[in-house]
């Protein structure tokens, strides 16, 4: 692997720029803009239409989900995912690079990376530093939107990477896996509000390790040694089963990405996360200092 393929999961701006120069984006190389914002303080698709990496296509995470579920951005079915990415001109041999334009550097792109991994895709990477640093470093942008030819895609779900509500409930007593919550500390403890109509808090027994801990101030993924220390300092054993939760199964994917960089490929995500847990768990199964009158 070349030096500019930064890790097993990341590519650099210079690597992507060089790859785009060598050939037009197509089935062999697909670049996806996964910019999305919740709460909707920004419009990811509108910003994509205004400027994006040349040849990139917009991956709408709010479109590619289980629309029958009452819980936010749950995984779509195999057939729905296959149809969606196939219409983006992606096949099973495509080299997929995902980025987003969030100021933290890597946000929803980690979720899309994980979705591809869950459905068995081999060659999927995240652009380290995201669109923020691509643009800052003077790489080209465009408002021209490509029109891909549909490709055939076969998705095969690896169910071991996805935890359900019942799995988390069982784990409260069985302790089959370590459970880590990737939200900011205040939302985990309940001192800060949770977006929307639910109150903050966490699942009993979960450990808090905010996803932003893995990113530098400039929006890049920290080094493998730094990532290793972050897990170690929280007493998380990467040799043992690990599941990540957050609010809606998005920032949790940053920790799945980080552990993958260290060689751990079996980190699971609780897809429904706190949003589902809040609505389905018993009151005594929600740990919080939040007061409803706040």
Task: For the chain, give every domain's residue range.
Answer: 10-136, 159-285
Measured distance CA(140)–CA(163) in Å, rounded: 40
Question: What CA–CA distance (Å, rounded) separates 222 from 213?
Answer: 9
Token reading at 39: 């709460």
Q: Is 253 a catalytic residue?
A: no
**Contact by Cβ (8 Å): 200, 290:** yes
Average pLDDT over residues 193-214: 96
Cα(33)–Cα(53) distance, integer angstroms: 8
Domain spanning 159-285, CATH architecture: 3-Layer(aba) Sandwich (3.40)
pLDDT, position 132: 97
Place of tokens 């990811």: 44
Q: pLDDT tens-digit profile of 149-187? A: 999 999 999 999 999 999 999 999 999 999 999 999 999
Buried b (16+ CB within 10 A) or exposed e, 117-127: bbbebeebbbb
Q: Indicate the pTM of the whole model.
A: 0.95
Which residue did the predictor score with more confidence, 291 or 278?
278
Could you give the CA distance from residue 90 to residue 165 in angstroms, rounded to a whole number? 31
**pLDDT, tens digit (0-9, with 9 covering 90-100), for 12-65:** 999 999 999 887 777 899 999 999 998 788 999 999 999 999 999 999 999 999
Two structure tokens written together for 247: 């609010």
| pLDDT tens digits, 224-236 | 999 999 999 999 9
What is the distance between the alpha carbons of residues 86 and 131, in angstroms, rounded to a whole number?
A: 24
- Of the residues 56, 106, 127, 246, only one is catalytic, namely 246
Longest C-alpha distance within the chain, in Å?
Answer: 59
On the question of a cis peptide bond just before residue 39, with omega within 30 degrees of 0, the verdict is: yes
Question: What tens digit of pLDDT does each residue of 97-155 get?
Answer: 999 999 999 999 999 999 999 999 999 999 999 999 999 999 999 999 999 999 999 99
| pLDDT value at residue 294 | 45
Same fold, 10-136 and 159-285: yes
What is the distance between the alpha carbons of residues 69 and 159, in angstroms, rounded to a whole number?
Answer: 18
* Rounded Cα–Cα distance for residues 262 and 242 (Å): 13
Using CA atoms, how far apart are residues 64 and 85, in angstroms rounded to an integer?
A: 9
Superfamily of structural domain 10-136: Rhodanese-like domain (3.40.250.10)
């Amino acid at each position: 692997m070349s030096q500019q393929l930064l890790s097993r999961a990341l590519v650099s701006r210079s690597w992507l720029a060089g790859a785009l120069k060598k050939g037009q984006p197509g089935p062999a190389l697909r670049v996806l803009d996964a910019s999305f914002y919740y709460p909707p303080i920004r419009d990811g698709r509108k910003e994509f239409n205004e400027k994006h990496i040349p040849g990139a296509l917009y991956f709408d995470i709010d479109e590619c989900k289980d629309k029958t579920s009452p819980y936010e951005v749950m995984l779509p079915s195999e057939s729905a995912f296959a149809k969606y990415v196939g219409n983006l001109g992606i096949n099973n041999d495509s080299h997929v690079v995902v980025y987003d334009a969030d100021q933290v550097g890597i946000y929803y792109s980690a979720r899309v990376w994980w979705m591809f991994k869950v459905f068995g895709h081999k060659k999927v990477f995240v652009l380290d530093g995201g669109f923020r640093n691509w643009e800052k470093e003077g790489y080209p942008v465009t408002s021209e939107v490509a029109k891909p030819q549909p490709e055939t895609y076969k998705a095969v779900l690896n169910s071991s990477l996805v935890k359900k509500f019942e799995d988390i409930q069982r784990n409260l007593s069985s302790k089959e896996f370590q459970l880590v919550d990737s939200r900011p500390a205040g939302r985990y403890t309940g001192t800060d509000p949770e977006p929307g109509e639910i109150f903050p808090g966490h699942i009993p027994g979960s450990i808090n390790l905010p996803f932003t801990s893995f990113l530098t101030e400039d929006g890049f993924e920290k080094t493998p040694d730094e990532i290793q220390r972050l897990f170690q300092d929280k007493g998380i054993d990467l040799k043992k089963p690990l599941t990540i939760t957050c609010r809606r199964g998005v920032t949790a994917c940053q920790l799945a990405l980080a552990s993958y960089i260290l060689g751990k490929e079996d980190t699971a995500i609780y897809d429904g996360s706190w949003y589902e847990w809040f609505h389905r768990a018993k009151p005594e199964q929600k740990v919080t200092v939040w007061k409803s009158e706040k």
